[in-house]
């Protein structure tokens, strides 16, 4: 568990999507952008590590709401204050139509080597329904521009189970995405998060979602199409060509250590998890006055950290190593979970394979939340 990641949260968006519960703000007044950059730069200077970073991830929000020159400067600042592994994965999320070819080229030259494009759908009607500010044409153009800019590691985000989405439109979005030759696909089922427009619409009975059978067929078709294109499913929602698995996210799923910069970002170091205040103005004010930006702090005891590591690790198709869990936490998972684990195995949800790996079965992957709820 030597990986160490750095996450930079850029909490600005053109528009707030109807399904999104992540902290972000709409628009970017120049004074707020300048204050954010000053505060994040101050924050990163408070951290130091003798271990090199194995990954850096600029996420949001929409990081490309900031000018490419500003993002490049911020990355340079990060690399100046943190040692980086030679093969460090350096990702940035972009939304279509928020950056052009010259901007993407600047980001690539600055050192970003992995691009994640927030497409969500390649049907304009679905994009409008979920509140995305771009069109399918914008998304396709951004993927082509990424190649022109020199990005050889590109991820595309898509969502299924969307309002009014059909199996056919999902297949079509997948086919169009594959035609763009990405190395990685993140495919998320729509979840109704509290305090979002979609959650309110659902409570009012005006949100028409695909039924459960249709969603399962979407997932089955996903498996068929992606395996035929050479993609391996390595996590519940993530597929990659061999060698292009997202190292930053794997570290997170393995309950590794990471540093979070920016309002709303989370850090996990030395067994302590800290959440920064999720408000740009408050975050900047606290940094300016030299106060702590942490909204809350939690030290996980060994047993709680063990359970969390099991739950997050089971999101990966490889599962979790029982010997590694015992070495790391001094806990034998089979004894700890007892009959609960036995029953999940007997019901075909979990299995223990060669090298004592505990993982979800194919059936378990379809009902992952149900299976993992038994192990919390």
Give 366's pLDDT tier (boundaries 50, 70, 90): confident
Distance separating alpha carbons of residues 319 and 326, to the nearest angstrom: 15
Give 179's pLDDT tier (boundaries 50, 70, 90): very high
Distance separating alpha carbons of residues 170 and 165, to the nearest angstrom: 7
Closest CA to 240 of 317, 189, 183, 188: 183
Distance separating alpha carbons of residues 313 and 268, to the nearest angstrom: 16
Can you give the residue ranges of every domain in the chain?
4-253, 317-373
The pLDDT mean for the chain works out to 94
Whether residue 1 has pLDDT greater than 80: no
Which 3 state secondary structure label does DSSP give 244? coil
Distance separating alpha carbons of residues 64 and 269, to the nearest angstrom: 28
Give 50's pLDDT tier (boundaries 50, 70, 90): confident
Q: What is the helix, strand, coil percentage profile of the chain, to 5?
A: 45, 25, 35
Could you give the C-alpha distances from 58 to 95, 178, 329, in angstroms and in order?
Answer: 13, 24, 31
Fold of 4-253: TIM Barrel (3.20.20)
Q: List CB contacts of 109: < 8 A, sequence separation 6 or more.
A: 72, 150
Centroid of chain to Cα 206 = 29
For the stretch 274-315, pLDDT in tens is 999 999 999 999 999 999 999 999 998 889 999 999 999 999
Could you give the C-alpha distances from 131 to 92, 279, 324, in angstroms and in order?
Answer: 22, 22, 43
> 163 near 47, Cβ under 8 Å?
no
Give 260's pLDDT tier (boundaries 50, 70, 90): very high
Q: How far apart are the first and last CA of the chain?
A: 22
Please state at what angle helix 302-313 crosses helix 322-329, rounded to 10 degrees: 160
**Quick one: average pLDDT of 26-50?**
90
For the stretch 201-249, pLDDT in tens is 999 999 989 999 999 999 999 999 999 999 999 999 999 999 999 999 9
């Amino acid at each position: 568990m030597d990986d160490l990641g750095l996450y930079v949260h850029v909490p600005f968006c053109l528009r707030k999507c109807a399904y999104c519960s992540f902290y972000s703000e709409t628009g970017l007044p120049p004074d707020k952008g300048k204050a954010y950059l000053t505060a994040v730069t101050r924050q990163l200077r408070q951290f130091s590590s003798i271990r090199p970073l194995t990954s850096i991830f600029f996420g949001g929000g929409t990081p490309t709401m900031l000018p490419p020159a500003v993002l490049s400067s911020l990355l340079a600042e990060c690399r100046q204050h943190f040692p980086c592994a030679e093969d460090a994965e350096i990702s940035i999320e972009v939304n279509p139509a928020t950056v052009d070819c010259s901007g993407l080229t600047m980001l690539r030259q600055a050192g970003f080597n992995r691009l994640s494009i927030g497409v969500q759908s390649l049907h304009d009607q679905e994009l409008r329904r979920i509140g995305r500010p771009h069109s399918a044409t914008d998304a396709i153009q951004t993927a082509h521009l990424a190649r022109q800019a020199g990005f050889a590691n590109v991820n595309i985000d898509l969502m299924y189970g969307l309002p009014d989405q059909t199996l056919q439109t999902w297949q079509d979005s997948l086919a169009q995405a594959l035609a763009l030759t990405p190395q990685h696909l993140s495919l998320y089922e729509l979840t109704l998060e509290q305090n979002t427009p979609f959650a309110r619409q659902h409570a009012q009975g005006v949100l028409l979602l695909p039924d459960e059978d249709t969603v399962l067929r979407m997932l089955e078709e996903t498996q068929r199409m992606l395996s035929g294109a050479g993609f391996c499913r390595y996590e519940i929602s993530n597929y990659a060509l061999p060698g292009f698995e997202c190292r930053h996210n794997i570290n997170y799923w393995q309950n590794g250590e990471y540093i979070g910069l920016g309002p709303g970002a989370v850090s996990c170091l030395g067994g302590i998890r800290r959440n920064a205040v999720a408000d740009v103005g408050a975050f900047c004010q606290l940094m300016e006055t030299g106060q702590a930006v942490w909204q809350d702090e939690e030290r996980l005891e060994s047993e709680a950290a063990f359970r969390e590591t099991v739950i997050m690790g089971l999101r990966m198709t490889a599962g979790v190593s029982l010997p590694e869990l015992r070495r790391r936490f001094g806990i034998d998972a089979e004894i700890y979970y007892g009959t609960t684990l036995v029953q999940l195995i007997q019901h075909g949800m979990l299995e223990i394979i060669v090298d004592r790996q505990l993982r979800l079965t194919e059936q378990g992957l379809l009902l992952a939340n149900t299976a993992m709820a038994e192990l919390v």
